[in-house]
Amino acid sequence: MVPPESPRHPRPPRIALVLPGGGARSAYQVGVLKAIAGWYPAGAPLPFRILCGTSAGSILAAGLAAYASRFRCGTAMLDRVWRSFHVGQVFRVDQPTMLRTGAHLLLALASAGLLLSPPPAVFDNTPLRRLLEGRVNFARIRLALDAGHLDALAVTATSLGSGDSVSFVQAANGFEPWMRSGRRGIGAELGLDHLMASAAVPFLFPSVPMDSDHFGDGAMRQLTPLSPALRLGAERILVIGVREPGRAPLGAAVTGSPSLGQLFGFMLETLFMEGLQSDLERLQRTNELLSREPARGAPGLRRVEPLVLLPRSDLSAVALRHMSELPRSLRMLLRAMGAAQAAGGQLTSYMLFESGYTRALIELGRRDAHSRREEIEAFLGLGAARSDEEQAAQAQ
């Protein structure tokens, strides 16, 4: 439960953590979170009452939720997993599997689907399911909610039947489902299928059947990624993105027609980040309106303070420096798609689940967080809490 408010100790603001998708780039989010956790005492609980994740961000959010009573332990677990990552833990890239998939796809295309139906996806991501089975403890998530260490965990996926953005919410109590044009929030006891569905990037990974429907990556139809946090009562929202600000959509200058790899990388960046930027602009406009005319705000509107953390480095360039770590079969595929050159590094940066790259991104996230430590601590109220502790110690 949220601590009760008193004249001397006002209730702390309800802070939500929003983690957009980013494939392998989500290692950057791990670095930011690990840095923040290090600013808290060893046994401190998670400072975020609400966790909202999409795609790879949903996996991080679920991992944190399971350790909501001990923030540092949760980020240490995520750090261990991401530091030791290999592509084979996410999808199968052994040469026989890749050859079978390629032959299957070619035969299906050549016969117009008459001899063989197209494969459900390019990659088989059953290794990811096995990894999550051993790393995400859903029983602990329920215990964290029951113990009051967390108010809600929301995992967003896309319904391929209705086209809606569906946020599956596991809440401590008082959850009110919502339905708006193109988006829904429904209560659920979260499990592996929800995480696999949220991270089912179209074309790359197969969709997941649930509740007489099929679901794919949550970013596909998530035009308002801040909506779940707002609906769940967030008063402040910390967003950790994975795309550096101000970069051209296709990265390096393109001469001639963009390659397939460049276009696919552009699609992934659009999928994971464009809705977030638009939603942040809408939130800022609402805050400005309420600041100018607070008494005339529409019913239900409230001021919500956002803080956005984005990489200061070009993650695509970092990925290209580590491309040699990829298995040979995947490296050949990316080269064939034109994703091995500077202008095609975006696609590689989302798929490079190898420890050299993920460790580099964790370090970048840690450094970026420390460079903004004062701002982040003020946003989380950590400085005020530390002052209270120091005053109490002096009084003794």
Kindly report, residue by residue over 71-108, the tens digit of the pLDDT.
999 999 999 999 999 999 999 988 777 777 777 667 76
pLDDT, the chain, mean: 86
> What pLDDT was estimated at residue 230?
94
Residue 367 token pair: 């450094």
Phi/psi of residue 291, each to 5°? -70, -40
* Rounded Cα–Cα distance for residues 302 and 345 (Å): 41
pLDDT at 263: 77
Burial class (CB within 10 angstroms; exposed 0-12, middle 13-18, buried 19+) of 330: buried
Q: What is the pLDDT of residue 390?
A: 46
Residue 392 has pLDDT above 50, yes or no: no
Strand partners, 340: none
* Cα 37-38-42 angle, rounded to 5 deg: 85
- Whether the per-residue pLDDT at 260 is higher than 80: the answer is no
What is the Cα–Cα distance from 119 to 137, expressed in whole angstroms? 31
Cα–Cα distance, 307 to 378 (Å, whole number): 11
Taking residues 178-201, report their average pLDDT: 95
